[in-house]
Chains A and B, each alone.
Chain A
Amino acid sequence: MTLGNFLETMETAEFRVHPDAHIVVDGAVCADCTTRECVVACPANLFVPTSDGGIVFNYEQCFECGTCYMVCTQEGAITWNYPAGGHGVVFHRT
């Protein structure tokens, strides 16, 4: 599957995006991480390595599944909360 196809697939899910991020990733901590489990495991592909060796996290299309904090090996890299009530992913045909 190409990246373009996957972006299209992600468009099929509804997200009611809150202005504040519910998950915050500290890219400075990620810079020390060599294994980067989140990059391959996040089902929405929201963890993007940057050219300067950090990681950018986009919270907008998050399924709120919990995979990222479970695989993360870096203390303090991920601060994980649910979005404010009524926000975030809204499933319809699952």
Chain B
Amino acid sequence: MSRTFNGVEVNDSVDVVVVGGGPAGSCAALVAARAGLSVVLLERGPFPGSKNMYGGVVYPRILDELIPNWWEEAPIQRWVTRRSTMLLTDTQALTVDFRTDAWGKAPYNGATAYRPDFDHWLAGHAETAGAQLLTSTTVTGLLRDDNGAVVGVTTDRPDGDLRARVVIACDGVNSFLAKEAGLYEHTDVKHFTLGVKETIALPKEVIDERFGVRDREGVDIEIVGCTGGVNGGGFVYTNLDTVAVGVVLKIAKLASQSLRPEQIIATLKAHPAIAPLIEGGEVKEYSAHVIPEAGLTMMPKMTTDGMLVAGDAAALCLAAGIWLEGVNFAMASGMYAGEAAVEAVQAGDVSAQGLRGYQRRLSDTFVLKDHRKLRRAPELVLSDRVQHLYPQMVANVVERMFRIDNPQPKPGMRRILKQERKRAGVRRRDLIRDAITGFRSYG
């Protein structure tokens, strides 16, 4: 049986239905379609990527396995060749700035890209592989059989039920499908952050000059200490002729104080270290999105009978301060979900047992290995001390170090450290404890 959706003829029963045309969904659909399975990829927006927003940098290394030489065709803005980590106080800025030519040429490392471009492009590869893309279609729920196994989805199309042997839920951070399937025991607002940003237009030459780059070279600046009383972080990324400026805010904390998100961005934009970079620019787009921030702590069960969860829907987002990644985890988990679905369909067993290849792949690769190693990092990075005490302490130490107090002689570093630690109200044992946690996570 088939019916027409949006002028597209669709079988009402297929091997795999993928919900969500983001990076996880498109990679899942691509893999399953390439293996010869019948695949429908559902996207609720008018085109893939239209609902998707992130800070601005993608690390597509995992695409080597799916799209060789992806860098020759991916719609990227700039290749990140400069990576800065910046620590701000109201009046000070300390930047660690790294640049390398290596990341400006094949096989590249990270890139800035607009998600509506990037996700659209990736979904095109899924279509080329044979997946049927249905846009403007919102999934409203799961179809289950008498035993509770997932056997398809309901959509907001008239007569819009779609049956599938495997459903791959890549429906984003709110994943109502994973919740409906009972894969999340509970969700807690403390595990989420809100990202808001402004995309600010400036002529390319101006961006090149202000950020010290040329051609397709780009800059990634991650910032701590710029979000007032709300735990979080900030970022500045260069696109070709825009600069993205934004903040990521712990939602529970945001909700318990009085500054609104756009006010926190405005404060960051006005900081003396940031303002000159974006002066004269015009806001082209304001956007917001929620991020699953707590890593391993919040992850759902990934598999149930007839269904897999990937990407943000499975909380596969790495928010570990010096590493802030999501799209690569989405692409990889989507890819592995696709492979597991192929195995299960070919073996004729789409139960959780038949789909177990998914969990195995996640566990054997960076997807869960990185999360296991960095399981304590998100909490440390968003802790009150790292957020509110250490930036001031470190900035003061550096200011004293470089300040010339003649005729006083230079004080020793140990004395400066001790005095500034006390002045910032940091207890020695807390500092040591955090250092150990940091060393365990990052070491």
Q: A residues engaging B (CB < 8 A)? A: 1, 6, 9-10, 12-13, 16, 37-38, 40-41, 43-45, 63-67, 70-71, 82-86, 88-94
**Closest partner residue, chain B, to A22 (CB atom):** B138
Taking a contact as CB atoms under 8 Å apart, the answer to whether B199 and A94 are in contact is yes
Q: Is B206 on the interface with A (CB-CB < 8 A)?
A: no
Quick one: CB contact mask for B92-117 with A, threshold 8 Å, 1 for yes? 00000000000000000000001110
Taking a contact as CB atoms under 8 Å apart, the answer to whether B53 and A94 are in contact is yes
Taking a contact as CB atoms under 8 Å apart, the answer to whether A93 and B251 are in contact is no
Q: Is B284 on the interface with A (CB-CB < 8 A)?
A: yes
In the complex, what residues of A have CB within 8 A of residue B138's CB?
82-85
Q: With A40-B260, A43-B288 given, name 20 new contacts (CB 8 A).
A: A13-B285, A16-B46, A38-B255, A40-B255, A40-B258, A41-B251, A43-B261, A44-B288, A65-B289, A71-B189, A82-B138, A86-B136, A88-B45, A90-B45, A91-B52, A92-B114, A94-B116, A94-B199, A94-B244, A94-B289
| Surface stretch bound by A, among B190-198, B344-352, B393-401, B402-410 | B190-198
Q: B residues engaging A (CB < 8 A)? A: 44-46, 49-54, 114-116, 135-138, 155-157, 173-174, 187, 189, 192, 194, 196-199, 239, 242, 244, 251-252, 254-263, 266, 283-290
Q: Which of A63, A90, A94 has the most CB of B within 10 A?
A: A94
In the complex, what residues of A have CB within 8 A of residue B197's CB?
94
Taking a contact as CB atoms under 8 Å apart, the answer to whether B46 and A66 are in contact is no
In the complex, what residues of B have CB within 8 A of residue A71's CB?
189, 251-252, 255
**Closest partner residue, chain B, to A45 (CB atom):** B260
**DSSP class of A's interface residues: helix, strand, loop or mixed?**
loop
Taking a contact as CB atoms under 8 Å apart, the answer to whether A9 and B262 are in contact is yes
- The CA of A34 and the CA of B115, in the complex, are separated in Å by 38
